[in-house]
Amino acid sequence: MRVSIKSVMSSVIGLVGVLLLAFPAFPASLPPGLGSSLDQVEKLAAKEGNVNIVASLDGDEIEIVLEGFKKKYPGIRVNYTTATGIDSGERILTEALSGHVEFDVVKVVYELQGKYIKSGTLAGPIDWTKFFPKTPKEHMSPQGYLAGGSFYPRVIAYNPTLVPPDRVPRKWDDCLDPYWKGKLVVDVRPATWIALYPAWGEQKVLDFVKKLKENNPIWERGMSKSITMLASGEYAMICGTSYPSIRGVLRKDPEANVKFAWPGEVPVGLNEALGVMSGAKNPNAGLLLAGWLASADAQRGYDKIGRGSPFLDGTDAQREFQKAKVKAIFSGWNEGEYAPGLTKKITAIWGK
């Protein structure tokens, strides 16, 4: 019997809802045995010796980012599982509510952060600044449950062999130029425009996406394929794409025909919001890893894959923003509050 993915996911989401009712929210708390200072956490983490994390780094990104942690804490083995999207987050939440906690640290996408916190499956609130006092406020959730250090700037990409120097887009409004009518690529997932909401407000975002549609873009879903086609010369320009994805292509092939432009306002999304699970088997190692990934120490690795923080002094990301004289627009820790409704309005305008 063939079962559709849609029906399976509906069942999973429904099960999460049932479990949230069956296991009502309990008071948030810190795991027993958690150290009260960074020194204590480090010593207890060394005794635990392991930390299990599920997040979205993939391939060589894992070693690049974690190299510094492994050098600093050689006695702690990091077991990294790669998973992305809502599906894996729903499964981990469902399992936690039933009493099975596989991971010490989990990436929680913004759509699920409220569910995780309300259900009490995340340890906290944690005073992250007590353990990592030099970490910028943008890296720590105001509620104290999550830490983030991987950021996701959105830029304009183009093929330099197809785009004359005087036609290189330098700002978002350049995507509305009739010159690009029917030629530019736009992702049907409006992440770029959602992330501009804190600076633009809803009406400006909706007005812009309507004009963007009128420029008859080539619609694509997912930018990895589009960037590859850009490099091969099948596309000339992508309006709103992932800077880390571009860096990934250029890391593998520095001669690829891909360049990018920093628009005046660069939307920067939080790529990984990491929380320590309430039932973590290695809570100290979990807190240490999550906090370290949000700290300045981790940015050297994140910078190498294009996910460094523009909000931290001394990072390559901040230097690039300053050199380009552009402004970072942080999508914020409350993205889950405004993104779903705005996404529906944008996709309705686009008919997608």
pLDDT in tens, 57-89: 999 999 999 999 999 999 999 999 999 889 999
Report the distance separating Cα 63 and Cα 40, nearest Å: 26
| H-run or E-run covering 277 | none
Q: Count how many residues are written for the chain.
A: 352
Q: Quick one: pLDDT band at residue 352, thresholds 50, 70, 90?
A: confident
Q: 50-55 and 105-107 as β-strands: parallel, antiparallel, unpaired?
A: parallel
Residue 147: closest CA among 136, 156, 157: 136
Give yes or no for a contact between 128 and 294, defined as CB atoms under 8 angstroms apart.
yes
State which amino acid sits at residue 221: R
What is each CA distance from 324 to 60, 264, 319, in whole angstroms? 28, 8, 9
| Angle between helices 197-214 and 335-350 in degrees, nearest 10 | 10
**Predicted pLDDT of residue 121:** 95
What is the separation, in whole angstroms, between the first and last Cα of the chain? Answer: 30
Class of domain 152-268+339-350: alpha beta
What is the spatial distance between Cα 332 and Cα 269, in angstroms, rounded to a whole number?
Answer: 7
Model confidence band, residue 1 (pLDDT cutoffs 50, 70, 90): very low
> Among 130, 153, 149, which residue's Cα sits nearest to residue 138?
149
Nearest to 43 by CA among 69, 76, 66: 76
Q: Check pLDDT > 80 for residue 169.
A: yes
- State which amino acid sits at residue 267: P
Domain boundaries, the chain: 28-150+269-309, 152-268+339-350
Q: What is the mean pLDDT of the chain?
A: 91
Q: For residue 84, what pLDDT is reported?
A: 82
Rg (CA), the chain: 21
Which tokens go with 50?
């392991």
d(CA 247, CA 194): 22
Say which DSSP state 256 is in. S
Residues 56 and 124: their CA atoms lie apart, in Å, by: 22
Torsion of CA 129, 132, 134, 137, to 10 degrees: -40
Q: What is the tens place of the pLDDT at every residue in 142-166?
A: 999 999 989 999 999 999 999 999 9
Tell me the pLDDT tens digit for each residue of 198-231.
999 999 999 999 999 999 999 999 888 899 999 9
Q: How confident is the model at residue 298 (pLDDT cuts 50, 70, 90)?
A: very high
Give residue 25's pLDDT: 43
| Residues above pLDDT 90, as percent of the chain | 86
Q: How many CB atoms lie within 10 A of CB 29?
A: 12
User: What is the model's pLDDT at position 6?
Assistant: 38
- Asked whether the beta carbons of 171 and 163 are under 8 A apart, the reply is no
The C-alpha angle with vertex 296 and arms to 61 and 242, in degrees rounded to 5, equals 45
Can you tell me whether residue 307 is helix, strand or coil? Answer: coil
Q: Which of 3.40.50.10310, 3.50.50.60, 3.40.190.10, 3.40.30.160 would CATH assign to domain 28-150+269-309? A: 3.40.190.10
Q: Give residue 254's pLDDT band: very low, low, confident or very high (50, 70, 90).
A: very high
What is the structure's pLDDT at 166?
95
| pLDDT value, residue 234 | 96
Q: Is the pLDDT confidence value at 22 over 60?
A: no
- pLDDT tens digits, one per residue of 324-347: 999 999 999 999 999 999 999 999
**Closest by CA position to 6, among listed 92, 87, 82:** 87
